[in-house]
Amino acid sequence: MTEEQFAHYGLTFGVGGFMLFMLFVIYQLAKESKAGKFGTFVLFLVLAFGMIGFVAKEVMIWYMEK
């Protein structure tokens, strides 16, 4: 395995795992603050917006390499 492959897998899976952890933290925040359905939706929408950009970038790279 080359350094480039290791960095690619580390970035993809490392950041992916960190994103899942962040979603868990957002869920816990919504649950503990008793935000309700709409409040939980807003929390996920606003706080997870940056993660959507990362996922979209990876999908575009995957699509362009085909």
Distance (Å, rounded) from C-alpha 59 to C-alpha 1? 23
Cα torsion angle, 44, 20, 32, 29, sign: negative
DSSP state string for 21-64: HHHHHHHHHHHHTT-HHHHHHHHHHHHTHHHHHHHHHHHHHHHH
Backbone angles phi, psi at 63, to 5 degrees: -65, -40
pTM check: above 0.85: no
pLDDT in tens, the chain (66 residues): 899 989 988 888 888 899 899 999 999 999 999 989 999 999 888 888 878 888 888 899 989 987
